[in-house]
Amino acid sequence: MIKSYKDLTVWQRAYQLCLAVYKVTKEFPKEEQYWLISQIRRAAVSVPSNIAEGHGRKTRVEYIHFLYVAYGSICELETQVLLTEDLNYVGNGSLESVKNDIGDVERMLNGLIMSLKAPRPLAPPAPGPLS
């Protein structure tokens, strides 16, 4: 049973991705300290943060809204990682795991959004008194 956002596998994976992004951006050139590094880290932090905030809002509509924000951030992060790769800022192997994790989190977010948007079946009527 999900008691906290920390119980959600998608939050756990997004959090681990965020940690990995912080580690890999340490390899970036110093001239990117205030530009690309900052952007990548902000996008990475946004994903688990918005999952947590949406879960904390307690309404399905708000939860879905914040999951969409997290989804936008994961797409932003993916774009920035592709740019990093094309600029050869880190060794080739450093980004493979991050790119795979981005894809996994993206799919998990999409699945969670779709499951929350799916119509819920009506509860069966309560049984009447026995005769």
Residue in this structure with the two tokens 């797409």, named with its chain if needed: 75
* Structure tokens belonging to residue 57: 């809002």
Domain residue limits, the chain:
5-117
Residues 6+ apart with CB under 8 A from 89: 27, 28, 29, 32, 36
CA distance 29 to 44: 19
Which residue positions in the chain have pLDDT lower than 50?
131
CATH fold label, 5-117 = de novo design (two linked rop proteins) (1.20.1440)
Backbone angles phi, psi at 58, to 5 degrees: 75, 0
What pLDDT score was predicted for residue 109? 98
CA distance 102 to 85: 14
Cβ of 16: how many Cβ atoms within 10 Å? 13
Note the pTM of the prediction, 2 decimals: 0.88
Contact 65, 54 (CB under 8 A): yes
